[in-house]
Amino acid sequence: MSVEPTQTPAPRAGGNGSYRRGPVILRGEQIPSETSDTSLLRTQVGADWLHEDPWRVLRIQAEFIEGFGALAEVGPAISVFGSARTPQGDPDYEKAFQIGRMLVEEGYAVITGGGPGAMEAANRGAWEAGGTSVGLGIELPHEQGLNQWVNRGINFRYFFARKTMFVKYSRGFVVMPGGFGTMDELFEALTLVQTHKVDSFPIVLVGSHYWSGLVDWIRGTMTKAGTISPGDHALLQVVDDPQEAVRRVLAR
């Protein structure tokens, strides 16, 4: 089953000309100059900012509570990551679509970052298979909003709260070719598995053409330097076939 081209969805909240700050949508002059993450990490001058942090902590707490509440009943799920820049018609888009569809057919929900590209493809595969298609969005300066194939979506202000949801409610990761955001999520999971913070958590990379250089560097340079244990590179599995990716990520 291949992916049929679709028309561009009509503009929605979170698209051009609007900005989503958590559950709040801002437009025009109401759009802030920086995101919540930027404000949190910015070097502060003086001590007045100390009086703001208790309120920020409450907002962070609320973000975790909202995430837990929204995802607690999703059931078994697999997270699929990949580039927001993967276009329809690209082989990686097709593979992500097939993976999303097959995961639902195996009784799993699909969780993505809710964006376009490979994330959209996996959500679309899950949606068209009649399953639960979850999108965990993030507040960004040029946010595009959750893709139209998400049927359960949450928007986060903070990356760390969002990444907690990916790991807590997934039984494994399938990782398509992607950029820095994809790498961040990949190495977060890899670190948690290596340090035994999570158990029985398969990490499957799809596309040997893309991942072989990274895996060779981990296996060669890092192992030879003694910065990781000799068997740590085996925590990553590289495949090319969508069906094999699903088989491996569901093997526990």
Residue-wise pLDDT for 184-197, tens only, equals: 999 999 999 999 99
pLDDT of residue 17: 67
pLDDT of residue 16: 53
pLDDT of residue 200: 87
Which neighbouring-strand residues pair with 21?
24
- What would the pLDDT profile of 61-82 be if each residue is shown by its tens digit? 999 999 999 999 999 999 999 9
- What would the pLDDT profile of 235-245 be if each residue is shown by its tens digit? 999 999 999 99
pLDDT for 15 beyond 60: no
- What would the pLDDT profile of 115-156 be if each residue is shown by its tens digit? 999 999 999 999 999 999 999 999 888 767 899 999 999 999
C-alpha to C-alpha distance for 131 and 123, rounded to whole angstroms: 9
| Packing angle, helices 91-105 and 242-250, rounded to 10 | 40
| Cβ contact 177:118 at 8 Å | yes
b/e sequence 58-90, b meaning 16+ C-beta within 10 Å: eebeebbebbeebbeebeebbbbbbbbebebeb
**If pLDDT is split at 50, 70 and 90, which confidence band does 220 have?**
very high
- Average pLDDT of the chain is 89
Helix (H, G, I), strand (E, B) or coil at 109: strand
pLDDT of residue 45: 60
Higher pLDDT, 207 or 34: 207
Q: Which residues contact 150 (CB under 8 A, 6 or more apart)?
A: 112, 114, 123, 127, 133, 134, 135
> How large is the average pLDDT for residues 144-171?
94
DSSP state of 148: T
**If pLDDT is split at 50, 70 and 90, which confidence band does 50 have?**
low
* Domains of the chain and any CATH numbers: 68-250 (3.40.50.450)
Alpha helices in the chain (DSSP H): 36-41, 53-71, 91-105, 118-128, 159-168, 180-194, 208-217, 223-225, 242-250
